[in-house]
Amino acid sequence: MIISVSGGKGGTGKSTVSTNLAILLKEFTLVDLDVEAPNDHILLNVNLSEGIPVKLFKPKFNHEYCTGCGKCAEVCNDNAIVLNREGKPILLEDLCAGCTACKLICPERGAIEDDFKVVGHIYENKTPYGFKLITGELLEGEERTYKVLLETKKRALKEGGNLIFDTAAGAGNSIFKALEGSDIVVAVTEPTPFGARDLEKILYTTSYLRLKTVIVINKSGVGDEEEILSLSERYGCPIVGRIPYSEEIIKCYFSKTPIVNTDLPEAKVFYEIKERILEEVKCS
């Protein structure tokens, strides 16, 4: 089973929901796919181990064999290859997407050799709560989010078993790929105009992907939920839980104490969310 926790807007509480669900569903592996700013390990008080590098192909030009035909520059959609005065290619590394088109089109054997650069890392750690955490992290200054996300998800799927994907904010291509193949998507939102606007983006995306989706309202009570209720009805996505705006929850967040490991009344909400999610999966 794959449960994906998402939400168009940043700061809605995706990671709080993901980590607490993972503690309640101990047979699940938690996968942090928010590769630009992964923080599940922080909430779970886990020190990341030595990472597995995520490598991106980059061409290494051998001018000894290059005839200067310029086909590599012509085929490069990212304009990462320019030609010098002699008509020989030079790589602008920061622009290179690692697509290998230049090597495929090159007519001269040996003119383009394989080279790689590290754009991120994948970390695998045991948590103090008995489940495994897989974390993808993009290197600072790098822009190839999609590559790191894809490799992190691929590694998690290869391991198999039950998975919880904690995705990044937004509704772009990387979120589309992160959600793909999920058995159920948990859309976390908040009762604000911004929360409703971005929730609709996620519901539109999951509707397009034909993915069963449920809604969790975080910080319930701070605003009017009318827009959230309207979206729930329009897209046929039930609300499976309301997490109250609570000073105690905020204290747990800053002390890295999972709410479900406390005797706070708010902890019961997460147990109810877990049960509702499992019921919705069975019904789908």
Question: Does the pLDDT at position 156 exceed 90?
Answer: yes
pTM of the complete model: 0.89
Question: What type of residue is 237?
Answer: C
Question: Does the pLDDT at position 61 exceed 90?
Answer: yes
* 262: Cα within 13 Å, side-chain hemisphere: 17
Question: Does the pLDDT at position 5 exceed 80?
Answer: yes
Question: What type of residue is 173?
Answer: N
| Mean pLDDT rounded to a whole number for the chain | 91
Two structure tokens written together for 139: 């290197």
Is 235:227 a contact under the CB 8 Å cutoff? no
Extended beta strands in 204-283, E state = 213-220, 239-244
Q: Summarize pLDDT for 7-36 with one digit per residue, the tens.
A: 877 778 899 999 999 999 988 999 999 999
Residue 58 has a pLDDT of 94
| Domains, in order of start, for the chain | 2-44+127-283 (3.40.50.300), 54-118 (3.30.70.20)
Residue 63 has a pLDDT of 93
Q: Partners of 241 in the beta sheet?
A: 216
CA distances from 242 to 46, 222, 225, 268 (A): 28, 12, 11, 11
Residue 284 has a pLDDT of 66
Q: Report how far residue 258's alpha carbon sits from residue 235's, in angstroms, rounded to the nearest whole number.
A: 31
List phi, psi (to 5°) of 89.
Answer: -75, 145
